[in-house]
């Protein structure tokens, strides 16, 4: 088992040399873990914008913990009403790229989010998207505590991270497994991975995570984090990229299906936040 320092070194090296290198069409390699096909665009876009509902619309400083290069246009919206966006990341390449995007609106700190070099009660808003899962498991609590500590009284923050094998994903993976098997029987051509096109079938396009990732389940979060600070679990996105690539296609009414899925997520945000793939965890600091 690698030490905590070694894990962080591996993660940093991965993002410096792979994740934040441009892969194609102006996208970073990291975007290959997302579904960027036109058929899924509106759904993915609207899920990204859900974050805004859980932040104060304006303030002095917004912390982006594990900012990466602020890779999607929707991410820019989070700090629009804030004077400055403080990007904190372990990867120098991430921060250089972020600076190209937001220039003087940004302040940039190279650091570990489990040991934030900032005063308590500093930020009016905070986002941390898909980052805590890169920390060694026994540092997750400390990362939540650091993010909470950095928030000003009454400030709000949003953390998005996938669950470890949630019930809805387990159920859907069962059906994805069947699609994989059927495809293996009927296919006559080798599978060609084509992220940019709405091609069939994508069930086999499981992309390797590439670096260290460890996740918890909702029981852990409620017990370990819910006892330390006020949290609320909402739905960010209930289905995985693997599900989207397998079942969502233009010619099978994919857009229509995703509109319905989005409406169902809006109707049952707490249920699908808890049992779906990606929760949005809202933190609100006591006044």
Ligand X SMILES: C[S@@+](CC[C@H](N)C(=O)[O-])C[C@H]1O[C@@H](n2cnc3c(N)ncnc32)[C@H](O)[C@@H]1O
Footprint on this chain of ligand X (rule: CB under 6 A): 8, 11, 15, 30, 66-68, 71, 89-91, 94, 112-114, 129-131, 134-135
Smallest distance, Å, CB 21 to ligand X?
12
* Buried/exposed code over 260-282 (b: 16+ C-beta within 10 A; e: otherwise): ebbeebeeebeebbbbbbbbbbb
203: number of Cβ within 10 Å: 23
Compute the least distance from the CB of residue 130 to ligand X, in Å.
Answer: 4
Contact 155, 123 (CB under 8 A): yes
Please choose, from the candidates 152, 149, 159, the residue with its C-alpha nearest in 3D space to the C-alpha of residue 82: 152
Give the nearer residue to ligand X in terms of CB position, either 46 or 199. Answer: 46
Within a 10 A sphere around the Cβ of 103, how many other Cβ atoms?
8
Nearer to ligand X, 212 or 268 (CB): 212
Q: For 11-116, list the strands marked E by DSSP.
A: 22-24, 27-28, 59-65, 82-89, 106-110
Q: Which lies closer to ligand X via its Cβ, residue 34 or residue 180? A: 34
Give the three-class secondary structure for 153. Answer: strand
Nearer to ligand X by Cβ, of 88 and 221: the residue is 88
Measured from the CB atom, is 47 or 113 closer to ligand X? 113
Q: What are the DSSP E strand ranges found in the chain?
A: 22-24, 27-28, 59-65, 82-89, 106-110, 123-129, 151-160, 231-237, 278-284
Beta carbon nearer to ligand X, 131 or 247: 131
Query: Which residue's beta carbon is nearest to the bound ligand X?
Result: 68
Cβ at position 44, least distance to ligand X in Å? 12
Asked whether the beta carbons of 98 and 87 are under 8 A apart, the reply is yes
Q: Are 64 and 150 within 8 A, CB to CB?
A: no
Rounded Cα distance between 78 and 125, Å, is 9
Instruction: Please give the angle made by the CA atoms of 66, 237 and 279, to the nearest 5 degrees.
Output: 60
Nearer to ligand X, 87 or 152 (CB): 87
To the nearest whole angstrom, how small is the minimum distance from the Cβ of residue 247 to ligand X? Answer: 24
Question: What's the min distance (Å) between Cβ of 155 and ligand X?
Answer: 19
Please report how close the Cβ of residue 230 comes to ligand X at its closest, in angstroms: 23
Q: How far is the CB of 263 from ligand X (least distance, A)?
A: 25
């Amino acid at each position: 088992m690698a030490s905590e320092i070694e894990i962080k070194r591996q993660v940093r090296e991965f993002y410096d040399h792979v994740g934040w290198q441009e892969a194609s069409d102006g996208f970073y390699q990291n975007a290959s873990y997302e579904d960027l096909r036109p058929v899924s665009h509106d759904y993915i876009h609207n899920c990204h914008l859900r974050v805004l509902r859980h932040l104060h619309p304006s303030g002095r400083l917004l912390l982006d913990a594990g900012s990466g290069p602020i890779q999607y246009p929707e991410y820019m919206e989070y700090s629009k009403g804030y004077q400055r966006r403080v990007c904190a990341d372990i990867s120098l390449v991430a921060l250089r790229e972020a600076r190209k995007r937001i220039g003087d609106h940004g302040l940039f700190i190279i650091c570990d989010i489990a040991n934030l070099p900032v005063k308590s009660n500093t930020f009016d808003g905070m986002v941390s998207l898909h980052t805590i899962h890169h920390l060694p498991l026994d540092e997750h609590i400390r990362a939540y505590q650091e993010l909470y500590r950095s928030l000003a009284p009454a400030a709000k923050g949003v953390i998005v991270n996938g669950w470890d094998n949630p019930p809805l994903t387990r159920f859907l993976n069962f059906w994805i497994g069947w699609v994989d098997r059927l495809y293996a029987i009927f296919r006559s051509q080798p599978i060609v991975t084509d992220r940019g096109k709405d091609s069939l079938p994508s069930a086999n396009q499981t992309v390797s995570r590439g670096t260290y990732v460890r996740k918890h389940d909702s029981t852990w979060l409620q017990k370990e984090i819910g006892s330390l600070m006020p949290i609320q679990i909402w739905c960010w996105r209930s289905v995985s990229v693997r599900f989207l690539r397998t079942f969502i296609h233009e010619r099978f009414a994919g857009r229509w299906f995703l509109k319905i899925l989005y409406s169902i997520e809006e109707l049952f945000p707490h249920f699908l936040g808890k049992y779906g793939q990606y929760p949005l965890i809202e933190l609100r600091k006591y006044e």
